[in-house]
Amino acid sequence: MNGTVLRVLLKRLGSTGWQERRGDQHRVRERKRKLTAPIDNIVIAGAGQAGGRAAEALRARGFQGAITILGEESHPPYERPQLSKALLHSADAPVAYIKQARDWSDVLNVRLETGAEVTDCDAGRRTVSTADGRTFAFDRLLIATGTRPRRLAALENSGIEIQYLRNVEDALRFRQSVQRQSRIVIVGGGVIGLEAACAAAKNGCTVTVIESEARLLARAFPAIVSDIVAARHRSHGVTFVFGATVTGTAPNGVRLSNDLEIEADLVLVGIGVEPVPTVAERLGLPSMGGIAVDACGRTAAPEIFCAGDAALQWSRCHGRAIRVETWANAQNQSISVAANMIGEAREYNDPPWFWTDQYDLNIQVAGDMLDAEHVVRGDERSGKFSVVAMRGSEVVGALSVNAAKEMALLKRVIAANARPSRADLESPAYDLRTALK
């Protein structure tokens, strides 16, 4: 999102912007003076992947001032994809820490405060406070507080065991349930729910997935791929109920909106995520389902930046601002934003990209697959093919099934806004590199 789009977006939402709202020209001038002052102190709220990678990038780019990371979890920053993959499949799988705890201080000279939930922020004074009453001053603040799972209200306090899958503790708990060969109801046929279903089915659990849409992964996948995924799960014994939601408990499990009762020892909820509001709210930053940033990661407050899942950023492929909830974005956008925090001008415009692993399927998605014409490359019956999404002559998305090399090229085609013709794309012999010349 460029600066103009950001301003228009904020105006449309009834905000006159953080600066104007304070209505104090003297303070605005003072803030501008401070922005050109040396940066001695950077605070990062959120010790997840984006926060960790941003801290590393600040040091890699030569920043020598103080860096403090405040994270509410008890762990140093780690990557989450393995929480629904390796960690569920094997007791030996290690947590993917970005760095061991002591290396943050010993190698990078970064102060990492774990168990430190940011509960208050004062943009005027440039301080953040933690739940235990400590206050930290900053010249620049990076909000990297990520997202949290959307809760399933219908089952809260219902007596049945409910689990979510967001952090290490969640994953270890679910792994124990899976090893007990439990009867598991999974609410939500998205990526997290299906990776969990895969681990549970492989361990001999009885697995039922409840999906409110008529097919799996409807938010991101074309129907032909949804069908392939469903078939693979069914072949491992997973049962699906489509077009229904969980409305409450039944004597031995849960009750659905279509009056079905499903036996269950526990329910794993995977119905998407929502931003963690605390920091943005305290700073008076408008939340529009995420914290609006421009392509440099700047929020409406010039000294405050936002990276990772929490950021609402412009996506050309989607034609709107979205939260990009992916490993690659947490990795690369945060590195780019870190550079901007110390005075570089580096735009981040990579198309969104993520992958999922289920049984022998590796599926990768770049850009936006919805509301577009689909061109299939290769034969879907071969188990190795890709689908390209086009709007007019524009390639806005791509999905690959067990075709990672092709996806690497398709990502470049999308990023370059290259325009191969539909006829070219339909031909399996067409070399995608031609479009990049």
Ligand X SMILES: Cc1cc2nc3c(=O)[nH]c(=O)nc-3n(C[C@H](O)[C@H](O)[C@H](O)COP(=O)(O)OP(=O)(O)OC[C@H]3O[C@@H](n4cnc5c(N)ncnc54)[C@H](O)[C@@H]3O)c2cc1C
**Which residues would be at the binding site for ligand X (CB under 6 A)?**
45-51, 70-73, 80-81, 83-84, 117-118, 144-147, 165-166, 192, 276, 278-279, 308-310, 325-328, 330, 354-356
Kindly tell me which of 7 and 148 has the beta carbon lying closer to ligand X: 148
Taking alpha carbons only, the member of 309, 300, 364 closest to residue 331 is 309
Residue 153 neighbours by CB under 8 Å, 6+ apart: none
Tell me how far apart the alpha carbons of residues 130 and 45 are, in angstroms, rounded to a whole number: 10
Q: How far is the CB of 124 from ligand X (least distance, A)?
A: 19
> Using alpha carbons only, how large is the chain's radius of gyration in Å?
23
Residue 183, strand partner residues: 206
DSSP 230-252: HHHHHHTT-EEEES--EEEEETT
Taking alpha carbons only, the member of 166, 212, 216, 175 closest to residue 194 is 216
Find the farthest-apart pair of alpha carbons in the chain and give their distance in angstroms, rounded.
68
Sign for the pseudo-dihedral over CA of 369, 370, 373, 374: positive
Q: How far is the CB of 428 from ligand X (least distance, A)?
A: 27
Q: How far is the CB of 34 from ligand X (least distance, A)?
A: 24
Q: How far is the CB of 175 from ligand X (least distance, A)?
A: 12
**Backbone φ and ψ of 233, nearest 5°:** -65, -45
Q: How far is the CB of 207 from ligand X (least distance, A)?
A: 17
Q: How far is the CB of 164 from ligand X (least distance, A)?
A: 9
Residue 422 neighbours by CB under 8 Å, 6+ apart: 373, 375, 390
Q: How far is the CB of 429 from ligand X (least distance, A)?
A: 31
Kindly tell me which of 196 and 238 has the beta carbon lying closer to ligand X: 196
Tell me how far CA of residue 59 lies from CA of 41, 48, 146, 260, 339, in angstroms: 13, 17, 22, 56, 10
Residue 74, both tokens: 């008890």
Kindly tell me which of 80 and 377 has the beta carbon lying closer to ligand X: 80
Kindly tell me which of 203 and 326 has the beta carbon lying closer to ligand X: 326
Kindly tell me which of 193 and 253 has the beta carbon lying closer to ligand X: 193
Residue 367, both tokens: 């850009």
Kindly tell me which of 6 and 192 has the beta carbon lying closer to ligand X: 192
- Interstrand relation of 41-45 and 66-70 (parallel, antiparallel or unpaired): parallel
Kindly tell me which of 84 and 208 has the beta carbon lying closer to ligand X: 84
Kindly tell me which of 325 and 368 has the beta carbon lying closer to ligand X: 325
Q: How far is the CB of 203 from ligand X (least distance, A)?
A: 17
- Token pair 């020598």 is found at 64
Tell me how far apart the alpha carbons of residues 360 and 358 are, in angstroms, rounded to a whole number: 6
- Interstrand relation of 311-315 and 291-292 (parallel, antiparallel or unpaired): parallel
Kindly tell me which of 39 and 43 has the beta carbon lying closer to ligand X: 43
Q: How far is the CB of 48 from ligand X (least distance, A)?
A: 2
Q: How far is the CB of 240 from ligand X (least distance, A)?
A: 20
**Backbone φ and ψ of 389, nearest 5°:** -105, 125
Kindly tell me which of 147 and 340 has the beta carbon lying closer to ligand X: 147
Taking alpha carbons only, the member of 219, 214, 154 closest to residue 192 is 219
